[in-house]
Amino acid sequence: MSFFRVEKLGIRFGGVVAVDDVSFEVKRGEVYTIIGPNGAGKTTIFNLIGLIYPASSGRIVFEDQDLTGLAQHRVAELGIARTFQNIELFEHATVLQNLLIGRHRHRSTSLWEEMLFTGSVRRAEIAQREAVEKVIDLLDLAHYRDSRVAGLPYGVRKVIELGRALASEPRLLLLDEPSSGLNPEETDEMAFWIEDIKKGLGVTVLMVEHDMNLVSRVSDRVLALSEGRVIAEGTPAEVQSHPAVIEAYLGGAAVSPPLSPPLSASS
């Protein structure tokens, strides 16, 4: 059984074909990155996987479960979590509450039990909070635990996005441009966390990214898209030196040397 695969996925908005016959497979435990110039359809693919809008053609299969036609909230229940390119946090709630909402799929109490706040509800609450604390520890968010999200700096909010997705204990994590808007130090930290997530938590990561250093550093395999179509797939080095990829980014007959080898981990 394959862990996650996308078969001939396509969508058109009116006359515009945003994604055209895209197929790829993600193996369990790997970090798989999708790259491509702006407008290539990367985030659209994420939105299709997340069932935010239905695909025009093709299908998405996660652990042998076909996602086609399912209700949108079922995606998280199946064990797929995602972050958003333009942060979509719950602004008027605290960081802790944001993370707790991330654990929604693990709830076990009924409405009446909750209104009476029985012992089982209290025990369930404590269990939720223990699970969330692990994520807070991993991402160093303890300082912000009780702060309202609305006033926090951008870099911290990206981390909270990640934390909220992790809090749901997903088996597949979709990261939409995790390093956008982060400075080099924060990007470095993000790389560490992605590696931690892969090795320490055993979570499979499907990522959209622009920062090629980050891509080279953490990815096992890379998929390159352009104008909604697949143009290359392979290891980071293979894809980055692929002529079609270079042409998509730089256009025309421009020839440029392959990008430098991945930076070694440094502190």
Name 228's Cβ contacts closer than 8 Å, sequence gap at least 6: 10, 17, 18, 19, 20, 22, 40, 41, 44
Site string for other proteins, 188-207 (x = CB under 8 A): --------------------
Is residue 262 within 8 Å of 214, Cβ to Cβ? no
Considering only CA atoms, which of 91, 94, 152, 98 is closest in space to residue 128? Answer: 98
Is residue 231 within 8 Å of 239, Cβ to Cβ? no
Stretch that binds other proteins, among 31-39, 79-87, 183-191, 221-229 (CB under 8 A): 79-87
Q: Which two tokens stand for residue 107?
A: 């709830």
For tokens 């497979």, name the residue. 25
Residue (145 or 210) nearer to other proteins, CB:
145
Site string for other proteins, 211-240 (x = CB under 8 A): ------------------------------
Q: Which of 55, 89, 135, 214 binds other proteins (CB under 8 A)?
A: 89
Q: How far is the CB of 86 from other proteins (least distance, A)?
A: 7
Q: Which of 130, 251, 256, 257 binds other proteins (CB under 8 A)?
A: 130
- Kindly write down the DSSP assignment for every residue of 89-134, as one continuous string: --TTSBHHHHHHHHTGGG----HHHHHHT-HHHHHHHHHHHHHHHH
Q: Is 114 in the site for other proteins (CB under 8 A)?
A: yes
* d(C-alpha 217, C-alpha 214), whole Å: 5
Contacts of other proteins in 10-49 (CB under 8 A): 43, 47
**196: enclosing H helix or E strand:** helix 184-199
Q: Which two tokens stand for residue 113?
A: 């039990």
Q: Which of 164, 198, 217, 221 binds other proteins (CB under 8 A)?
A: 164
Stretch that binds other proteins, among 1-9, 100-108, 227-235, 236-244 (CB under 8 A): 100-108
Q: Which of 38, 86, 256, 266 binds other proteins (CB under 8 A)?
A: 86
Binding region for other proteins (CB under 8 A): 43, 47, 50, 52, 71-77, 81-82, 84-86, 88-93, 97, 100-102, 104-105, 107, 109, 111, 114-117, 121-122, 125-126, 128-130, 150-151, 164, 168
